[in-house]
Amino acid sequence: MTTLKQTFQRVDPIITHILARYGIKLLRISVGIVYLWFGVLKFFPALSPAEDLAARTISTLTFGLVGANISLPVLALWEVLIGLGLITGLFMRATLLLLILQMFGTITPLFIFPSETWTVFPIAPTLEGQYIIKNLVLVSAAIVIGATVRGGDVVADPDLAEEGKQRYQEAVSQIR
């Protein structure tokens, strides 16, 4: 049993380092693939399960000024651009801004179409409601990715992480 524990103690820091080194990049690319995929689906009528709800939401938010014939291709392009930005890592600030703005629109059906997004408000979402609520994960991923845009990184070493926290606290206290 001691050998197993010793092996784990030797291997665990190596695995943690690998996760820290590649995790953000994999997160960015995987979220990008989701956006690219869902965006491309919206270019083809009746392929996206969110198509009707998205079109009606945009129409409602624009007081009927923007119909599905305009909103769906624009939304599709918007999502494809987010996906490509995340996959390539190019224009990350603009990409994350587009993502956050898109998420504000995505969450609104929970409030403007509650009969379609909840079976029992606010505890039992419909399938459409669940589809929307899962976007909390995408927003959280965007926040983590955004924290690295200016060169930040995940640090696997607890001593370096503590040093970084202290430096951050000192910098914040100087601003105040």
The answer as to whether 134 is a domain residue is: yes
129 pLDDT higher than 80: yes
The answer as to whether 34 is a domain residue is: yes
Q: Are 85 and 142 in contact (CB under 8 A)?
A: no
Mean pLDDT of the region 9-16 = 89
The answer as to whether 132 is a domain residue is: yes
Please state, in angstroms and as integers, the Cα–Cα distance from residue 31 to each residue in 85, 86, 133, 138, 149, following that order.
10, 7, 16, 7, 15
User: In angstroms, rounded to a whole number, what is the distance separating the alpha carbons of residues 151 and 71?
Assistant: 35
The answer as to whether 86 is a domain residue is: yes
pLDDT value, residue 5: 87
The answer as to whether 2 is a domain residue is: no
Counted domains in the chain: 1
The answer as to whether 95 is a domain residue is: yes
Reported confidence tier of residue 38, pLDDT bands at 50, 70, 90: very high
The answer as to whether 105 is a domain residue is: yes
pLDDT digits (tens, 9 = 90+) for 94-116: 999 999 999 999 999 999 999 99
The answer as to whether 29 is a domain residue is: yes
pLDDT digits (tens, 9 = 90+) for 133-159: 999 999 999 999 999 999 888 888 888
1 pLDDT higher than 70: no
- 3-state secondary structure at position 80: helix
Mean pLDDT of the region 53-57 = 95
pTM: 0.88
Domain extent, residue 79, equals 12-175
